[in-house]
Amino acid sequence: MRLLLLPLLLVVTLAAGCGDDDEPLATGDDPPGVALAAEYLSVEVTEDGRPHELVPGTRIRLTFDGDRVGASLGCNQLGGRYELDGDVLVVDELSMTEMGCDPPRHDQDRWFADLLTSRPTLAVDGDDLTMTGGTTVVTLRDRQVADPDRELVGTTWEVDGFIDVDTSMSMAPPDAPGTLVLQEDGWVTGSDGCNSIGYTQGSDPEVGVRHQVTGDRITFEGEPVSTLRGCVDGEDYVARYREVLSGTVTWSIEADRLTLTTEGGRGVTYRAVEG
């Protein structure tokens, strides 16, 4: 069994100017044409009129929450207070975590941090936000449009990690990643990384796990019908997978990511299987 722990984070501050930390920034009313969504994903980046390729597998994620702006590009987390001066984004101080990323992604984080603190101009056109700083132009799209939340019921969800009270972790599955499908008829199917799970509908009694969704809670009842393959090396993985399929858990979805959390703070994270 391989256990991978997420690295600890250190935080550094990138200052673009001086200010009084005791005096909050006032965002004021959004100027005409700059009504910001909560979250954006990049769709195009140019420099000097030519395409600027991001590090393969990365994308700019930009968030606005009250007077806070945040960003991530597949490595570190950027964050700070902002205000709007007309159509100009003003970020005088930006914090950035220091994860042990490869040089290309680390340099890319620094590049975008410099752009955020350069007082770029913003323009909104429908779902798109354009950020321009010097010869750099970043076009972003409302995340809910660019990468909408998947449906809880009917989607095939694949396990990608486990949650403890204070830490997140991933476990290598014994054979293949576990999957979970909440069927439209209320039954639960999938695989726990070792055996397939399902139900025997129409028998007396009907056997399997059923689900009921109420708000942000899912209640699981019953015992899963399972194949009988022996997977001794995957006992921990299987136990953690099945832990959330008993009783009531809290669920949340962001784009293609589902999180199920027990009342004790343990849980499982999933990615939607597309197609």
pLDDT value of residue 14: 56
Least confident segment among 1-15, 72-86, 132-146, 164-178: 1-15
Tell me the backbone φ, ψ of residue 132, rounded to 5 degrees.
-125, 125
Against a cut of 0.85, is the pTM above it? no
Q: Would you say 218 and 268 are in contact if contact means Cβ atoms under 8 Å apart?
A: no
CA angle 216/217/221 to nearest 5° reads: 155
For the segment 211-222, the average pLDDT, to the nearest whole number, is 97
User: What percentage of the chain exceeds 70 in pLDDT?
Assistant: 85
Radius of gyration, CA atoms only, the chain: 23
Closest CA to 12 of 79, 89, 90: 79
- Residue 34: pLDDT band (50, 70, 90) is low
Reduced to 3 DSSP states, what percent helix, strand and coil does the chain have, rounded to the nearest 5? 10, 45, 45
For the segment 201-210, the average pLDDT, to the nearest whole number, is 81
Least confident segment among 219-228, 231-240, 253-262: 231-240
Tell me the backbone φ, ψ of residue 3, rounded to 5 degrees.
-120, 120
Q: How far apart are CA 249 and CA 138, in angstroms?
A: 39
128-181: per-residue pLDDT in tens? 999 999 999 999 999 999 999 999 999 999 999 999 877 777 777 777 899 999
Q: How many CB atoms lie within 10 A of CB 74?
A: 16
Average pLDDT, the chain: 86
36-54: per-residue pLDDT in tens? 999 999 999 999 999 999 9
pLDDT value of residue 243: 92
pLDDT value of residue 21: 42
Least confident segment among 37-51, 190-204, 247-261: 190-204
H-only helix segments in 117-153: 143-146
Tokens 């975590």, residue located: 97
Least confident segment among 9-23, 103-117, 192-206, 227-241: 9-23
Which one has a higher pLDDT value, 3 or 117?
117
DSSP labels for 25-54?
----SPPTT----SEEEEEEEEETTEE-PP
User: What percentage of the chain exceeds 90 in pLDDT?
Assistant: 68
Reduce the DSSP state of residue 2 to 3 states and report it: coil
Tokens 């340099």, residue located: 107
Domains of the chain: 3-146 (2.40.128.270), 156-272 (2.40.128.270)
DSSP letter for 267, please.
Answer: E
